[in-house]
Structure formats: C-alpha cells, structure tokens
Chains A and B, each alone.
Chain A
Amino acid sequence: MSKPAPDWLAAFVDSLPTRKWFQFLSNWVVVPYWHWRDPKPVLEGGPRPAPQPSENLQRMMNLVMPLRDPSPIGRARAAIVIAQNTDEIFAGLDNVGTVHNARFVLIGDYLCMLSVYDGDFSNYIRDFIVAIGSVFDAVMDLVVGGDALKPTARNVEKFIDWVHDHDLFQVPDFPTDLFALQDAAKGLGPDAPPHPLRSLSREMILQFVANPNVSLGGGYRAYPGKSAAQLRQNLGVGW
C-alpha cells in the first residue's frame, strides 16, 4: 500500500483552481492543448428542429452582430439608425404576425437583435426582409460583413445563412445532450459508444472555445405552447 500524501499537498492541490497562476496555466496552456488535440466544431445557432408543437412556438433568436465601429460614435450611430426606424420596425413586426417580442441591444462590441417568434426560422427571416428589409439594409451598414448582403431583398438566402451563423448556439436544456450535438456535428451517431460522463466538463470547456457566446438553455416561458396569434385572439385584440 502506498504512503498517503501529506495533508499540505492535498490542501495545496485542492486550492489550485482558485490560484491565479493555475488559472493562467489552465487558460493559456491546458485549454489550448486540448483544443489542439480535440477541436470542437462550431455548433449551429438557434432552436433545433423538433416535432413537438411547443418546440415550434416562442422560439428564441439571439442575433449577435459585430459592430463595424464599436467606439462611442459608432454606437451612437447604431442607436440613431434603430431609433430612426422604430416606426418601420414596429409596423413590420405587426405585419409579420408571428413575433412575441423583439428588441435591439448594444452590448460589448455587438449589436444584438433578440426576439421570440413562432414557426420556421427561414420563413421568419424571409418575412422580416419583406416587412423591414430596408431597416436591415441600414443595420448591415453598421456591422462587420454586412456590405456583402446588401440589398438584403436581393440576397435573401445569403442573408438567411448569415443570420443563422450569427444566431447564438443554444446550450441544451439537459447538459449531457451536448455529447450527442457534438457527435452529430462531426457526422457521428449519438452515443455510439457513450462518452465518459466525467469528460462532460472538458467537452463543455472546449465547446466554449468554438462557441464563446451562447444562450444558456431554452429559457423560461410563463405561457408555453401558445402562439402570438392565439394569445392576441384570447386577449381579444386580434391581428
């Protein structure tokens, strides 16, 4: 039987995750090493396809667009563009008819459009372009890579792909589902063979290398399974 480690050594190792130098080592050596050894594919953004009706209602879009000019002047320009187009945005959203709520947010170096919608993602974006395409043209002036998509009305499919690429990956509601998503992205069948359960922490860390910005879970809903149209109908305000 081997001699037990002294208490001070055990206490020292236990304290490593809180020590700055170990955090530095982990972030700059350990994580890059594992990323080199086992890189994770970028996982697709937006809600995933599902047959259940409630999965196709109140879906989240977290569109995160890098600002071309993140300076205060650039941010002010973005704020003015959104403010000048409020009337068109609100009228367009009313006409799309499947949107529960939508807002623009400036955070970090990004302009974000956060919305909750019913139905298919591609059709949602298509409806948007028809309803408020000119607003998106103005927004494209503000963000990195936007020039190539203008006018959005003539680059519909390209614009849909771009939005999809900038829609945040939604971390699964149940953490162990990450294994299957990573396998699917690599073209592998789910859990064949199963992954070691304790490797989940490493898989998650490495996934955050590929998808640093994510939506954590599918979010809370006070009235799940209801469409915007049903709610407006039940509230007696119609469309």
Chain B
Amino acid sequence: MPDNATPSLAKRLVCALKIEGTLKEKRPVHAFGWGAKGEFLPSAVAKNYCRAFHFNLARRDDGSLVTYPVTLRFSNGSGEAKQRDSWSDVRGMAARFHDPQDDTRATDLIAMTLPEFFNATPEGFAAFAQAAKSAPCRAQTPWEKLRDMLHLIQPMPDPYPGQTRRPDEGAIRYADKDARAQLAVLQAATIGVPQSYLQASYHAVHTFRVTGFGGTNNVRFEWRPVDGVRPHDPDLTPEPGSPPVDPDDFLVPDLKNRLKNSAAGPHVRSRPMRFSLMMTIGETGDDFNDPSRPWPPRRKRVFMGMLTVNEACDTEKVSFNPGLLTDGVAASDDAILWTRIEAYRYSSEQRGGTPCPFAEGQ
C-alpha cells in the first residue's frame, strides 16, 4: 500500500462524502442501486493476457463453454436521500465474478460512467470531496447568464425542479485551483443521463497489473454496452403504448422491463443486455498511478469477454470492493485505489454491509 493511502484518510473521506440526514444503512455515494445476476464468457484471447479464473475459456465435459456467474449492482452516483434518475449524474456498475468450481473465490471490478477520477492523490481527493460537498444552489440571474454569454462562457445549468443542493459550484471552484481535477469535473458536470443502465460505458479508472502467458501488463478495464451508449432525452415523446415514466425512477423499471421481455422467450423482441469487457494496455510513459488521467484511445485494447445480464437480485447488502482481486490480477501502486479499498471497507462496516466472505476483512 502506498504511504499516503492510510485507513484514517479513508475514514475521513467516507465521513466527508456522507450527506447529513441520509440513512446510515445507505452508501455515502452511489446510494441508490439495483442488483442483478449475469454470466461472463471470456474471449478466446483473454487467458493469454491474464491467468485469473474468470478469463479462462474452458469447456465442460459435454463440450459447452464455461461461463462465470456475476453479481452486479447498477447505481446512481449521488449520495442524496432521494432517488433522482433524471438528474445528470455519474452512474456506477459494480461486478463480482464468481468461480463456479470454487465458491470461496471471487473478484470485483468497480466501474463508473466517468472515464477518470477527480484527483491523483488521496489528499487531493479529500480536499476535493470537502470542497465539492453538496451545497445550497440557485439559478443564475438573467444578468449573470447574460454576463457569462458575453464572456463566451456557458451559463451554469439551472437547478432541476425541486433541487436545492448540488456539488457543481464547489467542484468548479476547486477545479479552478487544481488542474488535475479539471477534466473529471468538466465531464461530470456534463455527463447527463443514460436511457438505460445497459446503455452506458463504465470505466474502472484504476490501473491493475494482470499476469498471463505473455507476462505482466499494466491495464485498465471498461465495459462497453452492446446496445450502444444512449443519453436520455427528456424532451423525447414516449413511445406509443409505453407505460407512464416516472422521471425520478425510470432506470430500474427499464431494467426490469428488459429482463421480463428477455425471459418471455424469443417471440418477444428484447434489447441486448450484454457488455463487452475491454482491457487497455498501458505503455511506458503512461502514469499507472494517476486515475485522474485517462489513457488516449490509441493504446492497445483487448476484448476480454462478454457479460450477459440475466435476472434481478438484491445486492444492497453486498460489499463490493475494488481490492477484492484474485490470482492474476493485482492492484497497482495507485494511492487513490488503495484509499478506495480502505474507504469501501470502512463504509461497509458503517452501514452494516455483508463483508465479503471470500477475502479476509473485505
């Protein structure tokens, strides 16, 4: 663990992120989530790059391909007390891969729709979290907006109806002083809303060291939806016959609807509920320990496998942790990653989450 990733800092972070008045049993961020079960089929080349169990393409005695059970949690990034699906927010996708041959073995991959993290160091992130705490907000006056326009600056978006607090202003003030936070703050402020949890790309922003036949590589993972990345258009007229949509709660009903159609059989048209897992290989010159800096799209990418979402399940008590790894996948020296590992552990204790039975203390 890097020296600056201390458990006390992780605790401070959890406390800084927790919004006053929210339930203790809720996570401090990504408070509203929905669980699902799925299965992962590794690609033919995955095991060349990583010897982890879930990347081993194998056949059963009957010749069928082995798939690996996956527990999933999709979530909205906000830690506010009320669910607001139609508000612009970072979304999360936590995945736990299980080994069907050994039920003591599992590994997690935590990803979000933001392609980078808000800072490169735990101290910087702690300062950011403090500065970007959700605070009272108001719409800019027409004169403030006009002034921005005449300065060729995009006015701040008006708060949503009913929105009295948001982190945006504090986050921007922080980013004005810390250039490393600028990209994430800019992208988080404009990230919008997906049409479906199954129509967004999710990035595991940290570097991991994976080992396979060809040696060890520094890599980052991302989920690419087969159904395409589609932002939600609030002005779009609902399709004829579709049920009325609650703007605060439409992402989970969408998932349930898709699962229902998928389970109904081939006679009912259903949308793909699959994600490709892509692995990007870092190169000399890339900073493997800085999650605030994405790698350009020119790095080598490997298709590691396909995830299919199958059915709903309750995962609210499950404690995912980016440090739950398995042989073949190791954490890099990214101090933010190590701080998150500690923070997830502490947060789980605080809300009475189920510790992971497979890894001591996690």
A residues touching B (Cβ–Cβ < 8 Å)?
4-5, 9-10, 12-14, 16-17, 26, 30-31, 34, 50-55, 57-58, 173-176, 179, 190-191, 193-202, 205-206, 217-221, 224-226
CA distance A205 to B151 in the complex (A): 11
Question: CB-CB < 8 A to B185: which residues of A?
Answer: 197
CA distance A201 to B139 in the complex (A): 20
Q: Which 6 A-B pairs have the closest CB atoms?
A: A202-B152, A51-B285, A191-B179, A225-B300, A13-B142, A194-B179
Interface footprint category on B: 35 or more
Contact, CB under 8 Å: A194 / B151: no
Contact, CB under 8 Å: A55 / B152: no
Question: CB-CB < 8 A to B299: which residues of A?
Answer: 52, 54, 224-225
Contact, CB under 8 Å: A174 / B183: yes
CA distance A17 to B149 in the complex (A): 8
CA distance A225 to B294 in the complex (A): 17
Given A16-B149, A52-B285, A174-B183, are A197 and B300 neighbors across the interface (CB < 8 Å)? no
| Interface residue B227 (Cβ < 8 Å from any Cβ of A) | no
CA distance A34 to B148 in the complex (A): 13
List 6 additional A-B contacts (Cβ < 8 Å) besides A176-B182, A179-B179: A30-B152, A52-B285, A173-B297, A175-B183, A197-B186, A198-B172
Contact, CB under 8 Å: B179 / A218: no
Contact, CB under 8 Å: B153 / A51: no
| Interface residue B141 (Cβ < 8 Å from any Cβ of A) | yes
Question: CB-CB < 8 A to A50: which residues of B?
Answer: 285
| Interface residue B267 (Cβ < 8 Å from any Cβ of A) | no
Contact, CB under 8 Å: B298 / A218: yes
Question: CB-CB < 8 A to A26: which residues of B?
Answer: 149, 152
| Interface residue B176 (Cβ < 8 Å from any Cβ of A) | yes
Which residues B279-298 have CB closer than 8 A to chain A? Answer: 281, 283-286, 294, 296-298
Contact, CB under 8 Å: B179 / A52: no
Contact, CB under 8 Å: A52 / B297: no
Contact, CB under 8 Å: B142 / A9: yes
Closest chain B residue to A6, Cβ basis: B142
CA distance A55 to B145 in the complex (A): 41
Number of A-B contacts (CB under 8 A): 109
Question: CB-CB < 8 A to A202: which residues of B?
Answer: 151-153
Closest CB in chain B relative to A200 CB, distance in Å: 7
Contact, CB under 8 Å: A175 / B186: yes
CA distance A70 to B101 in the complex (A): 70
Given A174-B183, A194-B178, A197-B175, are A224 and B142 neighbors across the interface (CB < 8 Å)? no
| Interface residue B150 (Cβ < 8 Å from any Cβ of A) | yes
> Could you write out 24 A-B pairs with CB less than 8 Å apart?
A5-B141, A5-B142, A14-B145, A16-B146, A26-B152, A30-B149, A30-B152, A52-B283, A54-B298, A54-B299, A55-B296, A57-B298, A58-B298, A173-B294, A175-B183, A176-B186, A194-B175, A194-B178, A197-B176, A197-B182, A197-B185, A202-B153, A205-B152, A217-B297
Question: CB-CB < 8 A to A5: which residues of B?
Answer: 141-143
Closest CB in chain B relative to A25 CB, distance in Å: 9
Closest chain B residue to A50, Cβ basis: B285
Closest chain B residue to A25, Cβ basis: B150
Question: CB-CB < 8 A to B283: which residues of A?
Answer: 52-54, 225
Contact, CB under 8 Å: A224 / B186: no
Proximity string of chain B (153-189) to chain A, C-beta cutoff 8 Å, 1 when within and 0 when not: 1100000000000000000100111110011011000
Closest chain A residue to B183, Cβ basis: A176
Question: CB-CB < 8 A to B256: which residues of A?
Answer: none
Question: CB-CB < 8 A to A196: which residues of B?
Answer: 176
Given A5-B142, A12-B142, A176-B186, are A54 and B300 neighbors across the interface (CB < 8 Å)? yes
